[in-house]
């Protein structure tokens, strides 16, 4: 009894001390020029903590000296953000540094006072419990794992990134013996994230601690969409070796910190990229006249973002011209630095009347994740000079010249020459009529050619749009299929471990990707969509165990079997 009271008193005292330290930290920083605070004030050694340093000083604040943190922490990364606000007619700028830290020991660790332009912040106390584990950004196998017949290593290029930006995730599967054909390695999983395989499996032979191994390496690009701290679930391997030995193993989880968007623009899009390039090409007639047209091609090439997330480039409204979007093409490829996306828009611009037509400039706002600042990719305005059409001016000039010639001819004095004069005038009109007839025929042929060409362009544009729509449809279908596969693997793992709490969560996540067109938020929605009595009973059994004190008695094999049957029915076209 005495031991319990003393333990409770210690925990209570420790909690009150942490709370009071938090209150004192906030109170002392209200009127300071330099403020510091943490997102958590009590963590374990396996967790990370985010330190925020804010300066409201005038002018350009200097970067704080972060080397004083190296004694107790590992610095995993830092970001600088400048926030502007207006109070009345006064502009106030706040400079913020966000530093991701991992403690290298346990106990009460002090984040010392940090100085910016001669102003200091207040110290902060962080309570760290537990023992130090593996370093961030990788899951290093233990010596026992390194001697195992099969083991997995996972790593990531950054443990901190902006919302929606690219992370490169690498999986290495080591196995001593060749694998059977039924061996399978699942994809990594992260909730509220897009995960795309970057390239094909690379197979090679290597040695680990002097022992020969076969190596299979896979890369993925991950685009997390939810700010906060998350864990990437490692792939699960299951299968048999050629010696008929069944093996099941999984890599280690990796913790990442996702920062919210650093800025926003009036267009509503957010582009965190490592590079961006905007180009254009124009194919036009020379010179331009009313009803003439040109083809303008705009190309946006981005590194580190899916093509479907790139914004529209075209402005389709102009008072002096008709602008038609003929096609939009999205292309993606991979290299050592990750995903390269390209958006190409082809426009047809038809002139309405003569004059000067201005196509406005194009500005694409994006965030440079390498330099950690906002940038703009721009195209200057395009000015088109439209003159009068040549076809219309030629007949008018001919008619005026002919009229002057007729007016200047002398009037005959003798009646005997009158018929001859009349014949001369009639003969003079024959070239004019022939010329006008030729012009008319040429105009008709030109009109027929233009009409035929326009029809061909429209048919070609329609085919291109249909092809683009089909590619986008297939890509969307592939994305949903990949997400459904990822969530099913996570559900299968939870069911095999008979974990009723995790299985409930994974079941709903899987259903949201299995029926992507339907809003699902509960197991009741799944029962209505599945229309399967067996699955209904198993979901009811899951809910009863979840709400009872006998969670450990729940078995997930039947639920997993019912879900597999439902998936096979869809693959066979029966659901």
DSSP labels, 322-359: EEEEEEEEEEEEEETTEEEEEEEEEEEEEE-SSEEEEE
**More reliable by pLDDT, 260 or 412:** 260
- pLDDT > 90 in the chain, percent: 21
Cβ within 8 Å of residue 48, ≥6 positions away = 76, 100, 101, 102, 136, 159, 229, 255, 257
Mean pLDDT of 380-402: 55
Mean pLDDT of 2-8: 38
CA dist 538 and 562 (Å) reads 8
Per-residue pLDDT at 189 exceeds 50: yes
Mean pLDDT of all residues belonging to the chain: 78
DSSP string spanning 105-117?
Answer: S-EEEEE---EET
What is the C-alpha R_g of the chain?
Answer: 36
Per-residue pLDDT at 442 exceeds 90: no
Per-residue pLDDT at 465 exceeds 50: yes
Per-residue pLDDT at 557 exceeds 60: yes
247-272 as b/e: b if 16+ CB within 10 A = bebbbbebbbbbbeebeebeeeebbb
Per-residue pLDDT at 2 exceeds 80: no
Cβ within 8 Å of residue 382, ≥6 positions away = 282, 296, 358, 359
pLDDT, tens digit, for every residue of 136-156? Answer: 555 545 444 545 788 999 999
Mean pLDDT of 190-206: 90
**More reliable by pLDDT, 116 or 20:** 116
Mean pLDDT of 339-351: 94
- In this prediction, residue 147 carries a pLDDT of 58
Beta strand 34-38 pairing with 49-55: antiparallel
pLDDT, tens digit, for every residue of 483-523? Answer: 788 778 778 888 888 888 888 888 988 888 888 888 888 88
Q: How confident is the model at residue 424 (pLDDT cuts 50, 70, 90)?
A: very low
Cβ within 8 Å of residue 437, ≥6 positions away = none
Mean pLDDT of 338-363: 91
- In this prediction, residue 195 carries a pLDDT of 93
Q: Tell me the angle at which helices 390-408 and 418-496 cross, rounded to the nearest 10 degrees.
A: 170
Mean pLDDT of 14-19: 51
pLDDT, tens digit, for every residue of 294-320? Answer: 999 999 999 999 999 999 988 888 888
Name the token pair of 36: 């510091």
- In this prediction, residue 404 carries a pLDDT of 31
pLDDT, tens digit, for every residue of 116-134? Answer: 888 888 899 999 987 655 5
């Amino acid at each position: 009894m005495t031991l319990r009271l003393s333990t409770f008193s210690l925990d209570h005292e420790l909690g009150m001390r942490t709370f009071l330290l938090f209150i004192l930290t906030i109170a002392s920083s209200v009127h300071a020029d330099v403020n510091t605070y943490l997102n958590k004030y009590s963590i374990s050694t396996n967790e990370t903590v985010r330190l925020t340093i804010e300066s409201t000083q005038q002018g350009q604040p200097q970067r704080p000296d972060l080397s004083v943190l190296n004694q107790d922490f590992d610095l995993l990364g830092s970001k600088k953000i400048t926030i502007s606000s207006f109070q009345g007619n006064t502009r106030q700028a706040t400079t913020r540094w966000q530093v991701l830290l991992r403690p290298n020991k346990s106990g009460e660790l002090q984040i010392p006072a940090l100085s910016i332009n001669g102003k200091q912040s207040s110290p902060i106390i962080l309570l760290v419990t537990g023992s130090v584990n593996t370093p961030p950004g990788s899951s290093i196998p233990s010596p026992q794992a390194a001697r195992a017949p099969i083991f997995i290593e996972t790593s990531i290029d950054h443990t901190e990134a902006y919302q929606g930006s690219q992370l490169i995730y690498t999986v290495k599967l080591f196995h001593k013996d060749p694998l059977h054909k039924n061996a399978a390695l699942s994809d990594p999983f992260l909730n509220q994230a897009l995960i795309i395989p970057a390239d094909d499996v690379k197979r090679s032979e290597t040695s680990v601690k002097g022992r020969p191994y076969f190596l299979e390496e896979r890369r993925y690009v991950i685009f997390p969409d939810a700010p906060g701290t998350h864990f990437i679930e490692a792939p699960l391997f299951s299968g048999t070796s050629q010696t008929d030995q069944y093996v099941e193993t999984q890599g280690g989880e990796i913790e990442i910190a996702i920062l919210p968007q650093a800025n926003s623009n009036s267009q509503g899009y957010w582009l965190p990229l490592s590079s961006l390039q905007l180009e254009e090409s124009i194919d036009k007639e020379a010179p331009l006249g009313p009803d003439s047209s040109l083809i303008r091609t705009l190309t946006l090439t981005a590194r580190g973002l899916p093509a479907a997330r790139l914004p529209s480039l075209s402005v389709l409204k102009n008072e002096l011209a008709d602008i038609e979007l003929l096609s939009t093409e999205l292309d993606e490829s991979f290299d050592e630095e990750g995903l390269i996306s390209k958006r190409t828009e082809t426009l047809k611009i038809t002139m309405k009347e003569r004059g000067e037509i201005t196509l406005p400039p194009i500005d694409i706002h994006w965030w440079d994740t390498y330099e950690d600042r906002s940038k703009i990719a721009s195209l200057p305005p395009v000015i088109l000079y439209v003159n009068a059409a040549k076809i219309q001016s030629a007949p008018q000039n001919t008619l005026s010249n002919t009229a002057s010639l007729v007016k200047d001819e002398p009037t005959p004095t003798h009646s005997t020459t009158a018929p001859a004069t009349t014949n001369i005038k009639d003969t003079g009109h024959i070239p004019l009529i022939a010329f006008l007839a030729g012009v008319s025929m040429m105009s008709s042929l030109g009109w027929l050619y233009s009409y035929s060409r326009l029809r061909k362009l429209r048919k070609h544009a329609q085919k291109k749009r249909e092809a683009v729509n089909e590619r986008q449809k297939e890509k969307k279908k592939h994305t949903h299929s990949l997400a459904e596969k990822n969530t099913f693997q996570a559900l299968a793992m939870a069911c095999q471990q008979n974990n009723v709490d995790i299985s409930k969560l994974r079941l709903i996540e899987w259903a949201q990707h299995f029926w992507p067109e339907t809003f699902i938020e509960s197991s009741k929605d799944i029962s209505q969509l599945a229309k399967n009595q067996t699955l209904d009973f198993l979901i009811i059994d899951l809910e009863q165990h979840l709400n009872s004190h006998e969670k450990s008695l729940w078995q997930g094999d039947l639920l997993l079997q019912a879900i597999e049957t439902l998936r096979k029915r869809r693959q066979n076209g029966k659901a």
